[in-house]
Structure 1
Amino acid sequence: MTAVLISGAGIAGSTLAYWLTRNGFEVTMVERAEGQRSSGNPVDVRDRALEVVTEMGLLPQLRAAATAVDRLSFVDARGRAKAVMRVGDPAAGTVEVARADLARILAEASGDRVEMRWGDGISAIEQSGAEVAVEFESGARGTYDYVLGADGVHSAVRRLALGTERELVQHMGIYIATMPVPRAWGAANEVVMYNAPGRSISVHPAGGRPIAAFMFRHAAVKDLDHRDTDACRRLLLAEFGGRTGPFDAVLDHVRGGGELYFDAVSRVSLPRWSRGRVGVVGDAASCLSLFGDGSSLAIAGAYTLAEELVAAPYDPDGALRRYESRHRERVGSRHRGVRMASALIVPASRPAIGIRNTAVRILARA
């Protein structure tokens, strides 16, 4: 039986684990967190990902958990709507669901077929012939036929096998933070967003569990650790003090502590996605960094990777190369849309905010 270690229990990792175990692979999953993350902006499941979750039999669960949001309202400092745009694509079957719900549903699909190592990580990888030896941060060791990194933009597998983050990850000039808040600011089907120059605050109703998101333009902060919550909280408060418009109460929640996700908007650019029997998938391979279709591409990429491994488990170079070739075609055009999305969501100046609002109103009448 082919033994696979997957690093990362998120969307890509859980999808990959499902398809590998369904096809007779022995899968161990290691995740640095102690459990599934409960925060994060809602995400879309669309296109190829929609076909994958349908084949997994998960579409009814996703539709039951869907947010039902269909509009984004841009408001001024007094909370008055200045422009409204329709979001989502129900005609294409697109489902928007809270990221935590999507990750949970995908993880549960494998049942008890996956051996889980919560609260641990990979500290060393050594390839020798047909084996990959792994040392874990806990001190444990293991040997696998494949090691696959689905561990996000700060991937340990990528760093150990393919290159450093400094070499392969590009800061896109924006930071983002999300946290749960007690109430929504608009209707149950409405995201409300306020912009100051180079900054945005929004609240998503998220199916009754509202999520606030903060985005701001900023050069890369040297030595800032996205896991240092206190340092990230201080930076967030410094950037948004006096610039919250109708969302002063949201900033109060930041001051009050609680769960906070914080990271840079980044682009991962790898010359290759694998070396020997070690490869990467999802954000670890081709991060779209919180804009666009990152979650859908993670699902589609994980399915493609599993498909190639199942077809040729004893041809690692061929299987991993074919997966990369096929999935890079999907990723390429989506990467080019990141700057356009940032101009829509985080206009850099007051005139740019006005131009954005005018353009949205014109398009709404078209």
Structure 2
Amino acid sequence: MYEQNFTAPGRRVLISGASIAGPSLALWLSRYGYEVTVVEKAPALRGGGFAVDFRGHVHRTVLERMGIWDEVNRCQTHMGEQTFVDETGAEQMRLDPSFMSGDVEIFRGDLSRILYERTRDRVEYVFGDSITSLTETADEVHVTFERSAPRTFDLVVGADGLHSNVRRLAFGDESQFVHHLGYYVAGFDVPNHLGLDRTARWFNAPGRGVCLNNYGRDPRTAGVLMVFEADQPLDHDRHDLAAQKRLLAERYAGLGWEVPQILRALEQTDALYLDAIAQVRMDRFAKGRVVLLGDAGYGATMGGMGTGLAVVCAYVLAGELATHPDHKAAFAAYEARIRRFAEGCQRTAGGAGPMLAPSTAARIRRRNRTYKLLNAPLLAGYLDRLTVKSATAIELKAYPLPTPLAAAHTH
């Protein structure tokens, strides 16, 4: 990074989404002197969530330039091996921690908190609200909200996830862009009756996988992750908890291992995540004064290193805005620089469903044999290199750091 004065194209920026991509961009733009507002539908910062990981020198370099690498390291999960078992609990094969957890793994909620704390003094956060309309003129975007009064911004960024509201308003219905990959994923918490400690157990039946894990945060609680095959998108209400529970109970009925106990615990939970494993595919990431970042523009539900991808692309988007005279040129440069990188991560994500829930007993056995071989000493590190290759397939540009805010980079 080097210091240089610059002219920012459009200083008033509205970002939709306060998870990871949005606050990452807000961190950079606020350092570049932009007036940044982040609107988030949730009533407060979201805690918890799945663990997310970072891999390779590109992810680390961006986190270091953001000034959060050390804190991310302090909050990492230290997750251990993941073991795949049969219905009796007998071990079939193991995965090294680095394959599933990367170089450093952290809970999404912890990372979101770190980013919020680093930006809240320079960025306006509006919780419990969402955008209802975007009306673009030659010079600005008029925005209406569910609760707040209408406002005007120079640029609008959709960093609001796979089911992006900004993408829907600016580009059209998500059915045009969100492509089902043939699997669903569900997650919820249960009592840790196996006494797991920073380890996980996976069990498979044809087309279905279920995992019990504990990341060391609470020894009494285990997380459940279910991955199952579904050729067509399921017709279910994402906001109907009872219907989602029935769907999962039907899919996993009659299975062995710990599944009956997991399904009994499912009946009691009031916090359940269920969604398709899908990818967002778009011909362009920007339209006029609106641009998409992270999952909203090129996301994958799991396996595509989406958090690292979002953090890197936020760095690129902010840097291109800081080094171009207008938003059109900046958006074009942003897309040109990240498209192949994003598509490579998506290709990696395409194998998540088949790997975690092979469709037949024969494929389960083949998966186990393959990963046993790849974990052998002679091939040590091969699995890691496969994922790191996608995570590092971009050359980071040393964007200018504005002189008045240079000190902020080291805090």
The alignment status of 1:256 with 2:265, answered yes or no, reads no
**2:103 match:** 94
In the alignment, the residues of structure 2 paired with residue 326 and residue 204 of structure 1 have an alpha-carbon distance, to the nearest angstrom, of 37
- Residues 134-173 of structure 1: per-residue CA shift (max 9 Å, x gap): 1112262110011000000110111111122111111111
Corresponding residue SS for 2:191: coil
Alpha-carbon spacing, 1:105–1:252, altered in 2? closer, same or farther (3 Å): farther
- Residues 56-91 of structure 1: per-residue CA shift (max 9 Å, x gap): 22122211211112422101112221111213169x
- Checking the alignment, whether the CA contact within 8 Å between 1:78 and 1:246 is kept in structure 2 is no
Shift of 1:268: 0.4
**1:154 match:** 163
Alpha-carbon spacing, 1:77–1:88, altered in 2? closer, same or farther (3 Å): same
The alignment status of 1:238 with 2:256, answered yes or no, reads no
**1:266 match:** 278
The alignment status of 1:35 with 2:44, answered yes or no, reads yes
In the alignment, the residues of structure 1 paired with residue 367 and residue 149 of structure 2 have an alpha-carbon distance, to the nearest angstrom, of 53
Corresponding residue SS for 1:358: helix
Alpha-carbon spacing, 1:106–1:211, altered in 2? closer, same or farther (3 Å): farther
**2:334 match:** 323
**2:82 match:** 72
Alpha-carbon spacing, 1:116–1:100, altered in 2? closer, same or farther (3 Å): same
Shift of 1:221: 4.0
Aligned length: 364
The alignment status of 1:60 with 2:70, answered yes or no, reads yes
The alignment status of 1:6 with 2:18, answered yes or no, reads no
In the alignment, the residues of structure 2 paired with residue 89 and residue 245 of structure 1 have an alpha-carbon distance, to the nearest angstrom, of 24
- Checking the alignment, whether the CA contact within 8 Å between 2:303 and 2:351 is kept in structure 1 is no
**1:167 match:** 176
Alpha-carbon spacing, 1:185–1:317, altered in 2? closer, same or farther (3 Å): farther
Moved beyond 3 Å, runs of 4+: 184-187, 219-223
- Checking the alignment, whether the CA contact within 8 Å between 2:78 and 2:198 is kept in structure 1 is yes
**What is the TM-score of this pair, normalised by structure 2?**
0.83
1:212 to 224, 234, 247: 224
2:347 to 333, 336, 350: 336
In the alignment, the residues of structure 1 paired with residue 79 and residue 318 of structure 2 have an alpha-carbon distance, to the nearest angstrom, of 32
RMSD, aligned CA: 2.1
Runs of 5+ in structure 1 lacking a partner? none
**What is the TM-score of this pair, normalised by structure 1?**
0.93
1:352 to 341, 351, 363: 363
Alpha-carbon spacing, 1:244–1:114, altered in 2? closer, same or farther (3 Å): farther
In the alignment, the residues of structure 2 paired with residue 223 and residue 139 of structure 1 have an alpha-carbon distance, to the nearest angstrom, of 33
1:293 to 301, 305, 325: 305
Runs of 5+ in structure 2 lacking a partner? 1-9, 379-411
